[in-house]
Amino acid sequence: MKIKTPYYLIDENKLLRNLKIIRQVRELSGAKSVLALKCFSTWCVFDLMKQYMDGTTSSSLYEARLGAEKFGKETHAFCVGYSDDDMREILQYADKVIFNSVSQLDRYYEQAKGKKLGLRVNPGVSYSHFDLADPARQYSRLGVIDREALEKQLPRLSGFMFHYNCENDEFETFAQQLDWLGETYGDMLKKLQWISLGGGLAFTKEGYPVERFAQKLADFSAAYGVQIYLEPGESAITNSTELVTSVVDIVHNEKEIAIVDACIEGHMLDLLIYRLNAKIETGTPGEHEYMVAGRSCLAGDVFGTFSFQDKLEIGSEVRIADAAGYTMVKKNWFNGLQMPSIAVRRLDGTIELVREFDYADFLHNLS
């Protein structure tokens, strides 16, 4: 099937690899996994994902509603700051409602007390390569730091959420952190029903010691009598999706620059935010080197410099890898550029064009 570029292509077989590891972790450890919709909320593949995961977790009213309506199963609601309108509606969808602060818990306790309630804890430790994404950064507003305040709220709560990792692929670091959580909060954990360890744990990465990870979770769960939840986002969808583009022009300024029909700010924003190069699977490095750049007016709209086997020409396809996590959820209409379509390669190999965007979508994005 020939699809007009640009488009995101989700490969269900690549997705399935991650999902099977998630299921393996649950079978070995008892830990449940809820999909972090802030990372990935493309619901055309939820029918597959919900066979291997236990539900969804959200960061807003709309994500909570999407999780309830399109994924089903457990629906965990979290928001850094709920409004009165949010809370009235979110209670229709959520099984668990997690608050970021004691003041929000106080404000909405009477409304929400029929649900399983949780409080986010800021343990003061974290793993992140980026200050921007570090939940324990200086002056962080994310979670409750005060142990005494936490203890006072225990009668109202069924669980704690600890979200303190970002792209942590080091098992030993995870294990040390988990031991520290037990030593620091264990007396409180024994009075709760569940804890969430959040996301940011790269346990589906190639070579990660999954069985040791699962055993560590099982031991912790048994020691403190809590159901553990993981919130995989990137781990659920890593390496499953490509942004497929075509070369529209080639210019020269000291080096060859291939301009493609997508852009970094509109279609892979995290690369710009974190100053990262894209990943392009070019096979064996070739002798033809190009800077691959987008067609927006942003001077820094550059995916990176790559070596190709064959010389690029107008119309050549360039496939940008790992284009699902924190990418599709952030796509935008910068420069009014054509929004990439969404396509899925199903398990049987057939490709389905799920969604196309046109001028009407651009028009009604604003008013």
Are both 315 and 171 inside the same structural domain? Answer: no
Q: Can you give the three-state secondary structure of the chain, one letter per residue?
A: CCCCCCEEEEEHHHHHHHHHHHHHHHHHHCCEEEEECCCCCCHHHHHHHCCCCCEEECCCHHHHHHHHHHHCCEEEEEECCCCHHHHHHHCCCCCEEEECCHHHHHHHHHHHCCCEEEEEECCCCCECCCHHHCCCCCCCCCCECCHHHHHHHHHHCCEEEECCECCECCHHHHHHHHHHHHHHHHHHHCCCCEEECCCCECCCCCCCCHHHHHHHHHHHHHHHCCEEEECCCHHHHCCCEEEEEEEEEEEECCCEEEEECCCHHHHCHHHHHCCCCCEECCCCCCCEEEEEECCCCCCCCEEEEEEECCCCCCCCEEEEECCCCCCHHHCCCHHHCCCCEEEEECCCCCEEEEECCCHHHHHHHCC
pLDDT at 25: 98
Segments forming the whole domain that contains residue 170: 13-236
pLDDT at 128: 87
Structural domains counted in the chain:
2
**Beta carbons within 8 Å of 196's beta carbon, 6+ residues apart:** 57, 76, 98, 118, 159, 160, 161, 162, 163, 228, 229, 230, 231
Are both 161 and 56 inside the same structural domain? Answer: yes
pTM: 0.94
Are both 83 and 224 inside the same structural domain? Answer: yes
pLDDT at 126: 86
In this structure, what CATH number is given to the domain that contains residue 309? 2.40.37.10
pLDDT at 10: 98
End-of-domain residue from the set 218, 236, 254: 236
In this structure, what CATH number is given to the domain that contains residue 150? 3.20.20.10
Residue 77 lies in a domain: yes
Are both 177 and 141 inside the same structural domain? Answer: yes
Are both 301 and 275 inside the same structural domain? Answer: yes
End-of-domain residue from the set 236, 254, 288: 236
Residue 8 lies in a domain: no
Burial class (CB in 10 A: 0-12, 13-18, 19+), 89: middle
End-of-domain residue from the set 203, 236, 269: 236
pLDDT at 282: 67
pLDDT at 136: 86
- Taking only the tens of pLDDT, the chain with its 367 residues reads 789 999 999 999 999 999 999 999 999 999 999 999 999 999 999 999 999 999 999 999 999 999 999 999 999 999 999 999 999 999 999 999 999 999 999 999 999 999 999 999 999 988 888 888 888 899 999 999 999 999 999 999 999 999 999 888 999 999 999 999 999 999 999 999 999 999 999 999 999 999 999 999 999 999 999 999 999 999 999 999 999 999 999 999 999 999 999 999 999 999 999 999 999 976 677 899 999 999 999 999 999 999 999 999 999 999 999 999 999 999 999 999 999 999 999 999 999 999 999 999 999 999 9
